[in-house]
């Protein structure tokens, strides 16, 4: 017991008290910054290097719904036009806002409707569905319940049953085997309910976008309330995205 107490004192305060303003290491790759420069004539190095076709030229833009946040485009660009900052505020309420250009300074979701805020503003229960991912996104979602991030202090929790949930958080590219299972889970949640896409695979298919084994019909037929880009996204991106969307201070 004495040793446990000593260890706890040595660890100090592990809680992130201000999730809005955390200084992440410079090595962390967050919101891309695109310099106001012209690409050299005929250069397409970044496009050739991108594994998910997330980059377009003239002008340069990056689709964060496709981006897996590898540094390849930044490394091969001869003019250093692309640079990944350590800004983890990336959540969006629309797919279009994930398209980063030279004019993009920040990404913040618009407030949810008054009805959604009145229902879920103080208490939100979510059911997470893994639809064929690599478990990277799932690990980050699991971390939200640890002492560092402590998502529960905001009244947001993950639950085991869709009957107890207010919405679903989808990870993975949505394989054929998980398509119907996702529909069944979503149907079991009482109205009103929300859908959150977590990670590049769920938003666009990511590196599996061309696979014949995916079935993304469910995502096309239902309204998506929140997009959390990344590969995998940082837990702070998830927390801040939900707090902004629910208009929480």
Return the pLDDT at 249. 76
Return the pLDDT at 103. 94
Contact 30, 24 (CB under 8 A): yes
Structure tokens at 219: 């995502």
Return the pLDDT at 239. 97
Q: Give whole-number Cα distances, 31 to 18, 20, 38, 114, 239, in Å.
A: 20, 15, 20, 29, 16
Tell me the C-alpha distance between 93 and 245, whole Å: 8
| CA 88 to the chain's CA centroid | 10
Contact 219, 197 (CB under 8 A): yes
Contact 100, 64 (CB under 8 A): yes
Determine the CATH number of domain 114-245. 3.40.50.12280
Tell me the C-alpha distance between 207 and 19, whole Å: 30
DSSP secondary structure of 75-119:
HH-TT--EEE-------BSSSGGGEE-TT-----PPPPPHHHHHH
In 3D, which of 208, 199, 225 has the Cα closest to residue 137?
Answer: 199
The CATH number fitting domain 32-87, selected from 3.30.56.10, 3.30.70.20, 3.30.9.80, 3.30.565.10: 3.30.70.20
Tell me the C-alpha distance between 46 and 59, whole Å: 13
Query: What are the pLDDT tens digits along the chain (249 aa)?
Result: 888 877 777 877 888 999 999 999 999 999 999 999 888 888 999 999 999 999 999 899 999 999 999 999 999 999 999 999 999 999 999 999 999 999 999 999 999 999 999 999 999 999 999 999 899 999 999 999 999 999 999 999 999 999 999 999 999 999 999 999 999 999 999 999 999 999 999 999 999 999 999 999 999 999 999 999 999 999 999 999 999 999 987
Return the pLDDT at 58. 87
3-state secondary structure of 88: coil
Return the pLDDT at 42. 85
Return the pLDDT at 1. 80
Return the pLDDT at 126. 98
Say which residues have a Cβ less than 8 Å from residue 26's Cβ, sequence separation at least 6.
Answer: 86
Return the pLDDT at 242. 97
Contact 138, 106 (CB under 8 A): no
pTM: 0.94
Structure tokens at 106: 């920040």
Handedness of CA 52, 54, 58, 60 (dihedral sign): negative
For the chain, give every domain's residue range: 32-87, 114-245
In 3D, which of 138, 35, 30, 143 has the Cα closest to residue 90?
Answer: 30
Contact 76, 10 (CB under 8 A): no
Tell me the backbone φ, ψ of residue 61, rounded to 5 degrees: -145, 150
Q: Which residues pair with 130 in a beta bridge?
A: 171
């Amino acid at each position: 017991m004495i040793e446990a107490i000593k260890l706890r004192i040595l660890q100090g305060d592990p809680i992130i008290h201000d999730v809005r303003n955390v200084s992440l290491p410079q090595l962390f790759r967050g919101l891309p910054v695109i310099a106001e420069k012209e690409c050299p004539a005929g250069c397409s190095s970044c496009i050739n290097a991108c594994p998910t076709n997330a980059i377009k030229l003239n002008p340069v833009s990056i689709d964060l719904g496709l981006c897996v946040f590898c540094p390849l485009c930044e490394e091969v660009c001869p003019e250093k036009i692309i640079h990944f900052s350590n800004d983890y505020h990336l959540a969006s309420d629309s797919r279009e806002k994930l398209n980063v250009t030279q004019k993009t300074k920040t990404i913040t979701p618009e407030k949810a409707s008054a009805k959604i805020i009145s229902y879920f503003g103080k208490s939100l229960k979510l059911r997470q569905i893994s639809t064929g991912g690599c478990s990277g996104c799932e690990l980050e979602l699991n971390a939200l319940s640890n002492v560092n991030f402590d998502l529960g202090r905001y009244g947001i929790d993950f639950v085991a049953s869709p009957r107890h949930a207010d919405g679903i958080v989808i990870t993975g590219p949505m394989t054929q085997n998980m398509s119907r299972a996702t529909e069944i889970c979503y149907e079991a949640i009482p109205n009103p309910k929300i859908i959150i896409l977590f990670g590049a695979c769920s938003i666009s298919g990511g590196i599996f976008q061309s696979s014949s084994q995916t079935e993304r019909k469910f995502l096309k037929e239902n309204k998506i309330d929140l997009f959390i880009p990344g590969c995998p996204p940082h837990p702070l991106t998830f927390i801040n995205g939900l707090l902004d969307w629910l208009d929480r201070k």
